[in-house]
């Protein structure tokens, strides 16, 4: 331990700063090109608004309570979709992973349905759950279910058989097996599945909001577009972008590499 840490510890420091520098450089370049395009007059002014206009729209957005209300609506929908779809996916995944018969009978359907764009089910969801948040949650849930179920099933099959034997030899009950052996042993595939699930739940929910809705971020974006308020639309995209990065790294943090031993 001492040896390896002595050799490897100093190395990452300059690496990280190099990567950071490159990232900053890329962002600055994109901004510069953007501003250049906006001033060049080659494109319609409104398609590529100046950074200043976007900045102003951003401040305008963040200083009005209206935006936060819609943000809360979308966040609530995504959260509910992740909670419902994630837990259903987990239960189904564990059942498929544990039972060869069930897995043979049903798992191929999951593989076929998994990559299908869930938005095609949106009309049905509207009929079942209405125009409000219900249909968005339903679509997000549907999107999120598949990656979580498939990762959980795969994770379940990867569990070291010896650990299961240890649990049995100490006469663990089924509940103890699930909570003290299966779930901790498959924590990495599950976290991965939830990460993918969060991504597609976000996509599903927002997509649904842009199609037919009366509140939420997707609704605001499409509204800004329909009145051709481009700076406002870009400002919302930027915030959304930052929020998804934040959410993703949060999920990673809770069960990611830094938590390998404890989670």
Which residues would be at the binding site for other proteins (CB under 8 A)?
1, 160, 162-163, 165-166, 168-173, 176, 180-181, 184-185, 187, 260-263
d(CA 158, CA 145): 20
Q: Which two tokens stand for residue 168?
A: 């049995």
d(CA 207, CA 217): 10
- Write down the least CB distance from residue 169 to other proteins, Å: 4
Q: Which residue, 18 or 263, has its beta carbon nearer to other proteins?
A: 263
Q: Which residue, 56 or 187, has its beta carbon nearer to other proteins?
A: 187
- Write down the least CB distance from residue 152 to other proteins, Å: 17
Long-range contacts of 197-200 (CB under 8 A, 24+ apart): 197/82, 197/85, 197/86, 197/89, 197/143, 197/144, 197/145, 197/147, 197/148, 198/78, 198/82, 198/144, 198/247, 198/248, 198/251, 199/244, 199/248, 200/118, 200/143, 200/144, 200/146, 200/147
Which helix (H) or strand (E) is 102 found in, with range? helix 100-113
Region of residue 123 (phi > 0: left; psi between -120 and 50: alpha; otherwise: beta): alpha
- Write down the least CB distance from residue 160 to other proteins, Å: 8
In contact, 239 and 251? CB cutoff 8 Å:
no
- Write down the least CB distance from residue 172 to other proteins, Å: 5
- Write down the least CB distance from residue 1 to other proteins, Å: 7
- Write down the least CB distance from residue 7 to other proteins, Å: 17
d(CA 126, CA 135): 5
In contact, 226 and 41? CB cutoff 8 Å:
no
Q: Which residue, 8 or 40, has its beta carbon nearer to other proteins?
A: 8
Radius of gyration of the chain from its Cα atoms, rounded to whole angstroms? 23
Q: Which residue, 158 or 173, has its beta carbon nearer to other proteins?
A: 173
Q: Which residue, 2 or 120, has its beta carbon nearer to other proteins?
A: 2
Q: Which residue, 159 or 220, has its beta carbon nearer to other proteins?
A: 159
Q: Which residue, 181 or 203, has its beta carbon nearer to other proteins?
A: 181
- Write down the least CB distance from residue 259 to other proteins, Å: 10
């Amino acid at each position: 331990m001492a040896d390896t840490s002595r050799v490897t510890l100093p190395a990452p420091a300059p690496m990280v700063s190099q990567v950071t520098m490159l990232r900053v450089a890329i962002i600055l370049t994109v901004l510069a090109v953007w501003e250049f395009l906006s001033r060049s007059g080659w494109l319609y002014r409104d398609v590529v608004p100046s950074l200043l206009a976007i900045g102003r729209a951003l401040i305008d957005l963040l200083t009005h309570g209206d935006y936060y209300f819609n943000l809360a609506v979308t966040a609530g929908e995504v959260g509910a979709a992740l909670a419902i779809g994630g837990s259903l996916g987990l239960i189904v995944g564990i059942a498929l992973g544990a039972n060869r018969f069930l897995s043979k009978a049903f798992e191929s359907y999951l593989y076929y349905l998994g990559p299908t764009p869930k938005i095609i089910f949106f009309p049905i969801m509207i009929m079942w759950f209405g125009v409000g948040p219900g249909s968005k949650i339903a679509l997000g849930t549907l999107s999120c279910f598949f990656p979580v179920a498939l990762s959980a099933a795969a994770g379940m099959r990867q569990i070291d058989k010896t650990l299961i034997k240890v649990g049995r030899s100490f006469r663990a009950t089924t509940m103890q097996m699930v909570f003290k052996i299966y779930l901790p042993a498959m924590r990495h595939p599950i976290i991965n599945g939830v990460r993918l699930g969060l991504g597609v739940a976000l996509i599903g929910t927002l997509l649904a909001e842009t199609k037919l809705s009366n509140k939420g971020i997707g609704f605001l974006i499409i509204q800004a577009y329909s009145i051709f308020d481009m700076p406002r639309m870009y400002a919302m995209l930027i915030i959304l972008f930052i929020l998804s990065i934040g959410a993703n790294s949060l999920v990673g943090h809770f069960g990611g590499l830094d938590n390998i031993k404890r989670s």
